[in-house]
Amino acid sequence: MEPGGPEWLLVPMQQLVSWGAAGAMVFGGVVPYIPQYRDIRRTQNAEGFSTYVCLVLLVANILRILFWFGRRFESPLLWQSIIMIITMLLMLKLCTEVRVSNELNVKRRSFAAADSKDEEIKAPPKRSYLDFDLNYFWHWSKFTDYVQCVLTFTGVTGYITYLWLDSSLFVETLGFLAVFTEAMLGVPQLYRNYQNRSTEGMSIKMVLMWTSGDTFKTVYFMLNQAPFQFSICGLLQVFVDIAILLQVYLYSYYPQKPVSHTAHPASTKAL
């Protein structure tokens, strides 16, 4: 066999594996939301999905994109954030439409309302971006209100980032906030399970998907020498996922307490 003979096959295989890993990194994060989206469309019921998941992921990925301008990391991670933002906006649009269609009254909540009272459909008041009801934050009745909020947050944080882009401390802190916010996504679910002493209503298959996805993502961070914030918070995500799986194992040995709420969310982390 000639020296270096197998290289013609080895190099393309390595490239193929690299492309596959990058593709999984870009699109893998949105996979758990596809069945959730289809289920909401089919049942016309969004009670099992917390829109706060969309809020957390939108904030985390917007901050990650801004972090990229200060410290260029792997492009698949950048594209992952863009794809995730689009996915969360689609989820918000569907959930808002379904929720409003199921409402029995005609009152509406708005991000840019003129006062703190309910907005009537028949006679909507004049809007002002400086006045909205905090009691109904992220519980608005039009998808455009969510878009306005996201654009406002992006504009403000983008302007601050532009002013402080030369500060390495600010850039590193921004990167940490981005991945730490995403890493904390499973904590509300963990706490709710602890309060109820039960994992009733939570999809174990989905938790397994989180765990495998977060594990793959963390290994990808380490192998591709991503900024250290990514690896640390990736490990934290895996730890939270494993803790939730341990709750499933632990509470299976105790009688499941009946849940008092009429609507029991399938998951706070988006399942």
Per-residue pLDDT tens over the stretch 22-43: 676 777 778 877 877 887 888 8
Judge whether 150 lies within some domain: yes
- What is the model's pLDDT at position 56? 87
Report the length, in residues, of the chain: 271
In a domain, 260, yes or no: no
Residue 5, in any domain of the structure = no
More confident residue, 25 or 100: 100
Instruction: Give 270's pLDDT tier (boundaries 50, 70, 90).
Output: very low
Region 221-245: what's the mean pLDDT? 84
User: Would residue 130 count as lying in a domain?
Assistant: no
Long-range Cβ contacts of 205-212 (<8 Å, 24+ apart) = 206/32, 206/266, 206/267, 206/269, 206/271, 207/241, 207/244, 207/245, 207/248, 207/271, 208/245, 209/31, 209/32, 210/32, 210/186, 210/237, 210/241, 210/269, 210/271, 211/238, 211/241, 211/242, 211/245
Mean pLDDT of the chain: 76
Is 89 among the domain residues? yes
Please check the confidence at residue 75 and state whether its pLDDT lies above 60: yes
Question: Is 127 part of a structural domain of the chain?
Answer: no
Range of the domain at 244: 15-104+139-253
Supply the pLDDT for residue 266. 45
pTM of the model: 0.71
SS (H, E, C) 144-200: HHHHHHHHHHHHHHHHHHHHCCCCHHHHHHHHHHHHHHHHHHHHHHHHHHHHHCCCC
Number of domains in the chain: 1
Residue 45 lies in a domain: yes
